Chains A and B, each alone.
Chain A
């Protein structure tokens, strides 16, 4: 034949793509029964699933008991445990699973802190700017009005002010910062002292009031925030923990004292996890920088600490914190059991965080430091403004992974006797009145953990995608 490629392309029109049959039969043949082995695998797996899944669904949904308030609701008339799941057990224990033994009439304090934190996080995490502003305003109104209603006007005003502060701090405050340094220093100290005095006189908590006032004054007179996020992070990181501790522990400002022994459930799990996250990231960054330091003593100390912690199980670190720490403190100095666990968790995850951050630091090309130095930046400035932001951005997935691991690992505090989600369900399932319903309890706790961890993982994936596209 003498037809050339050129002539065909000129004469015959382009063919339509071959028709793809979308019939389920064809799909099954391509994806399930494509070869003898494929068919065998499909059939045996289908058989196994058919054996496992329907009884499970029947137990969890169809035969399950949802209503009632006592064990009798789940029993058959002849006195044996029914065939389905007894969700009544979870219902009865729901309050404990969420708050532990926190007094019933004081649980609003936990809710208030949780809500404030959720709205605060919405203002800080990488979300759309409009969402952030809305969350900040909503947080201020809800938090302020809510706390005012439940805890009195001064507390409400304080929390509301704190929540609105991120928005205020991003306004143009340059005139304040142009004042002479002496004036600013005097104003800052005076403001803090005044707040401490008011706090001490009205609520018996001079330190908390003074500290928050100091933070606000520092933000007004000294620092400059470019975004709601930066201002929110500043307050969420430095002011929120103090206020949350005051509100949760009580003992001042007319709030009843709730010892940490009564804290428990999901509330305690999240408290430990969030404190661990907040402590482990800065600690981990410091350790990672120390590990790359040119000073041998600093470097070896950091390497020794990191490798030691990473080489031993978390349980032993918790034992170390709960059993050995009191031995090494002066006689009579008691450290709260929860605080000891928090120290253990923070040190443990800091070592893992340090390795993640180190990976990020190694990924920043050396040219970045050289460029920063040639621009005249000092070592601290180059690290803080050029290298660290890039390094952390690279390892965000790793950081979130460490956070997920941390959230799961908080369950180990049950071993040293704290009543976190696992500790509560462990005690609940061994209650003689409710024996035999362990599966229901663990299933519920499992769903809670799974939702938390899975959504964190999904968020990390989304963040990774946004960062890869260069928007964040």
Chain B
């Protein structure tokens, strides 16, 4: 069948004012008007209510004296500090526990995920049991269990469990030795830095050589030596400028050393197990998504089982694993806000809890808290998207 009519360049242009467009504009206008109206109504009520309660809206309260103490902090803070500083302490605590949790949960997740697929019956059954138990229990329940049922009944510092005489586990938390550095300790750190730099350079060189000549270099062992040997050599060469401050029982508590408060341990444990179980399922799905033929082909080429996993399965599985794993990491960050239940001073506990109760600045405190989570969430997902696009299949 022939068609002699000229083919138009594109779809026919819609006239500027059709009934459909007008209807669309009308609907949007109505939505906008309703939203703005609702907002204006709410703000009007809020202004009235705040005036009545005698609360001055605005962020001036951030400069006021906070007057409460925080039992876990990374920067200097005392009851004389301002609300603004308490906010920073809270943000840092949230980031600390999230980071600790993300690292541990990822490691545990890979162990559980690979373990559930193991040929070993005992390993796979145990992994599956752990995953199915942990996944189907609310995180809050697990957190309260670890905190109230496991850590709280621990003995007093006087009867603490001693781990080799240097670390102690009691109802005050886990007390570990603290590294104390002398004046010449910087040389050890410098040596360690040089070692790491050398290891990175070696890695780059070995990779380039492998691509050019096909010869492999035992990068792993040599890098380990490069990272460990120089600082240790300097450490003993310079007469051990680093020492450990061993905690000792003094009165009712330990003196010296570094104490991880039970709240932090409970939160870390709970977050790690909970997210680890979910990451485990993600990892399992990722590994199962690699076609069986890939493994068989690698085996046919004579790769050892370890090399098959490391060079063929995991790199391909990572493409599937990374996006949902990022979601899990973000969930962990948001779940760390459960700290408020056991009294770990994270952002929500310090700011949307204590500060809100003391100042009554509900809109400002909750707004700032939410903003922090939003910004960190967006930043992590942006970073992970970058990483993901690097891992994606390069089509040549």
Contacts and interface: CB of A to CB of B under 8 A. Distances in A.
A38 B52 CA distance: 71
Contacts of A438: 144-145, 148-149, 152-153
B373 A449 contact: no
A426 interface: yes
Given A32-B120, A324-B362, A328-B45, A313 B126 contact: no
Contact of A314 (B148, B334, B369): B334
A352 to B, nearest CB: 11
B37 interface: no
A439 B140 contact: no
Interface residues of B, number: 55
A351 to B, nearest CB: 13
Contact of A331 (B45, B118, B121, B137): B45
Interface string B244-262: 0000000000000000000
B35 interface: yes
Nearest to A457: B136
Given A415-B341, A442-B149, A46 B122 contact: yes
Interface in B341-359: 341, 348, 352, 356
B32 interface: yes
Contacts of A320: 366, 370
Interface in A90-139: none
B46 interface: yes
B369 A316 contact: yes
Nearest to A437: B149
Nearest to B338: A315
A442 B120 contact: no
A297 B356 CA distance: 34
Contacts of A314: 334
Contacts of B137: 408, 446, 449-450, 453
B32 A297 contact: yes
Contacts of A14: none
A149 interface: no
Contacts of B152: 438
B119 interface: yes
A49 B120 CA distance: 15
Given A296-B28, A331-B49, A422-B140, A42 B120 contact: yes
Nearest to A324: B362
A298 B337 contact: no
A330 interface: yes
Contacts of A326: 49
B366 to A, nearest CB: 6
A408 B42 contact: no
B140 A316 contact: no
Contacts of A453: 135-137
A404 B138 CA distance: 10
Interface in B49-77: 49-50, 52
A193 B259 CA distance: 70
Interface string B359-375: 00011001001100110
B141 A411 contact: yes
Given A31-B120, A301-B31, A414 B348 contact: no
Contacts of B27: 295, 298
Interface in B211-266: none
Interface in B115-164: 118-123, 126, 132-133, 135-141, 144-145, 148-150, 152-153
A57 B48 CA distance: 60
A298 B370 contact: no
A422 B348 contact: no
B148 A442 contact: yes
Interface in A424-472: 426, 429, 436, 438-439, 442-443, 445-446, 449-450, 453-454, 457
A37 to B, nearest CB: 9
Interface string A309-342: 0111111100110011011111100000000000
Given A408-B137, A422-B141, A436-B153, A312 B120 contact: no
A375 B296 CA distance: 50
Interface in A182-204: none
Contacts of A319: 348, 352, 356, 366
A310 B42 CA distance: 23
B190 to A, nearest CB: 39
A198 to B, nearest CB: 37
B28 A297 contact: yes
B145 A45 contact: no
Interface of B: 24, 27-28, 31-32, 35, 42-43, 45-46, 48-50, 52, 118-123, 126, 132-133, 135-141, 144-145, 148-150, 152-153, 334-335, 337-338, 340-341, 348, 352, 356, 362-363, 366, 369-370, 373-374, 377-378
| Smallest CB-CB A-B distances: 9 pairs | A328-B42, A439-B149, A453-B136, A31-B121, A313-B337, A313-B334, A297-B28, A408-B138, A411-B138
13 contacts: A38-B119, A41-B118, A298-B28, A298-B31, A308-B370, A315-B338, A316-B352, A316-B369, A324-B363, A408-B136, A414-B341, A422-B144, A443-B145
Given A31-B120, A296-B28, A313-B373, 11 more contacts: A41-B122, A295-B28, A315-B340, A316-B373, A319-B366, A438-B148, A439-B145, A439-B149, A445-B141, A449-B141, A453-B136
